[in-house]
Amino acid sequence: MELENEEELSVEEMKEIVEKLDEKIGEYDEKIETCEVGSERKKIRSERKLSKQARKQLIDFITRKQKYQSDMELFGERNSYSKTDPDATFMRMKDDYMKNGQLKAGYNVQLATEGQYALAYDVFPNPTDTRTLIPFLNTIEESFFKLPDYIVADAGYGSEQNYEDIIQKRNRTPLITYNQYRKEKKKKHKNNAFHVDNWEYNEEEDFYQCPNGRNVSFRYYSKRKDRYGFTREFKVYECEDCLGCPLRHLCTKAKEGNNRKIYINEKWESQKEYVRTKLSDEKTGEIYGKRKIDVEPAFGFLKANLGFTRFSVRGKEKVKNELGFAFMAVNLRKYTAMNIIQTHEYRNNPKKNGSNHLFLVIGTIFHLFWLVMSQPLVNCIGFSPVGCPIRFQYSLHQKRLTSQPRSEPGT
Ligand code: SF4
């Protein structure tokens, strides 16, 4: 048969073919019944065999296609799901005792805290930090409270899309580093003559000067769209002539005959500059510096003190409920401890308890919880309310949440 079109056959089309084949097979059956010559019957039977085989194969295709379709619906934007809990996604966990990068079914939990109190949380199926920030901020705004002035998070959340969302859409200040933030401050980076950050830039004529003294001039604009539909715009610069350059092997991996090209994303560069300025500012820098002491303890209490290391339920909604109770316990524990401390010798010295309740701190914890045999990864972010110090934290935690009943060692 020749293909009439390149598109895959739909289930309905395949069912139609099966019906046609049934008719054909029926015709053969009739012929066999009415035929009285043995050799003729044998010939018809062998002809019928082909139709029967095709029919069998098509039915198999239909069953599989239907299964794939329902699987794809379950996947959604994910690339996997757990058979025992379709809401859980397979993720690479922080703890990898086997050192083989195995994936485990888990959830990505984000928590907002202040003064080590859990204030808002949500559960996400995607393990990528950068892609959970915006939906979590939406959740906070829709279901919890107004966002604070500053949004503090660590490098895992620093992306052009997140900065743009926080600055332009929400009119807040992101105190979020980006992946290269620490690296850029290192001597090695600053002394790297081949990194464009260290090249001289001529603003009037829009060109850089490379270590060999040649001009790397603007050529054209280029756009890149990521798989989630976010578009980045780059200015592409190209060296006038890299041919015969003695530094070439140190400078570029471009194919022989091609000149070195550099891609500059102006928006990203200005966002990075903005963040650097904010982080070097005394007030906002201090806020960012405090982020570690706010969100981490909430998870510390949850795991180490309450022993909540695995989920005991399956399904996103149930997991959310269980988490809600767990975080409530964390808060009550913290509140009780605070009350006890305040009624004793620390009453007049609230700083000693590590938390200042005069302001609200919201933190986000990004957490991958294992479903059955999994260990989670936790990232924390923190905020602070309008006019108050804020912290947005990101950290990695280990956690075991399982759907299996807990048992004592050795039992
Ligand atoms: S390879 Fe090209 S861009 Fe790099 S130093 Fe040499 S001339 Fe300059």
Count of beta carbons in the 10 Å neighbourhood of residue 246: 8
**Ligand 1: which residue has its CA nearest to atom 2?**
242
Longest alpha-carbon distance in the chain: 110
Distance of CA 248 from the midpoint of ligand 1 (Å)? 6
How far apart are alpha carbons 381 and 298 in whole angstroms? 12
Q: Which of 198, 201, 209, 210 to mutate to test the pocket of ligand 1 (most atoms within 8 A of CB)?
A: 210
Distance of CA 192 from the midpoint of ligand 1 (Å)? 14
CB of 251 closer than 6 A to ligand 1? yes
How far apart are alpha carbons 199 and 279 in whole angstroms? 24
pLDDT at 19: 94
Q: Which atom of ligand 1 is nearest to the CA of 246?
A: 6
Kindly write down the DSSP assignment for every residue of 234-288, as one continuous string: EEEEEES--TT-TTHHHH--PPTTPPPEEEE-HHHHHHHHHHHHHHHSHHHHHHH
CB of 242 closer than 6 A to ligand 1? yes
Kindly write down the DSSP assignment for every residue of 105-133, as one continuous string: EEEEEEEEEETTEEEEEEEES---SHHHH
Spans of the chain below 50 pLDDT: 353-411
**Ligand 1: which residue has its CA nearest to atom 5?**
212
CB of 262 closer than 6 A to ligand 1? no
Distance of CA 209 from the midpoint of ligand 1 (Å)? 9
CB of 245 closer than 6 A to ligand 1? yes
CB of 338 closer than 6 A to ligand 1? no
Distance of CA 385 from the midpoint of ligand 1 (Å)? 49
How far apart are alpha carbons 198 and 188 in whole angstroms? 11
Q: Which atom of ligand 1 is nearest to the CA of 259?
A: 2
| Cα 101 to the center of its chain, rounded Å | 17
**Token couple for 247:** 């530094």
Cβ–Cβ < 8 Å for 114, 139: no
pLDDT at 349: 59
Phi, psi of 343 (to 5 degrees): -85, -5
DSSP element (H, E) containing 26: helix 11-34
Q: Which of 192, 253, 260, 262 to mutate to test the pocket of ligand 1 (most atoms within 8 A of CB)?
A: 260
Q: Which of 190, 153, 179, 169 is nearest to 278 (CA)?
A: 153
| Amino acid occupying residue 222 | S
Q: Which of 131, 66, 68, 79 is nearest to 105 (CA)?
A: 79
pLDDT at 348: 59
CB of 140 closer than 6 A to ligand 1? no
Q: Which of 216, 251, 253, 261 to mutate to test the pocket of ligand 1 (most atoms within 8 A of CB)?
A: 251
Distance of CA 233 from the midpoint of ligand 1 (Å)? 24
| Amino acid occupying residue 321 | N
pLDDT at 407: 38
**Token couple for 49:** 């065999």
How far apart are alpha carbons 150 and 282 in whole angstroms? 14
**Token couple for 135:** 């939906």
**Ligand 1: which residue has its CA nearest to atom 1?**
248
How far apart are alpha carbons 334 and 355 in whole angstroms? 10
- Enumerate residues 6+ apart whose C-beta is below 8 A from 13: none
Task: Read off the pTM.
Answer: 0.72
Token pair 């909540």 in the structure block, residue: 308
Distance of CA 257 from the midpoint of ligand 1 (Å)? 12
pLDDT at 409: 37
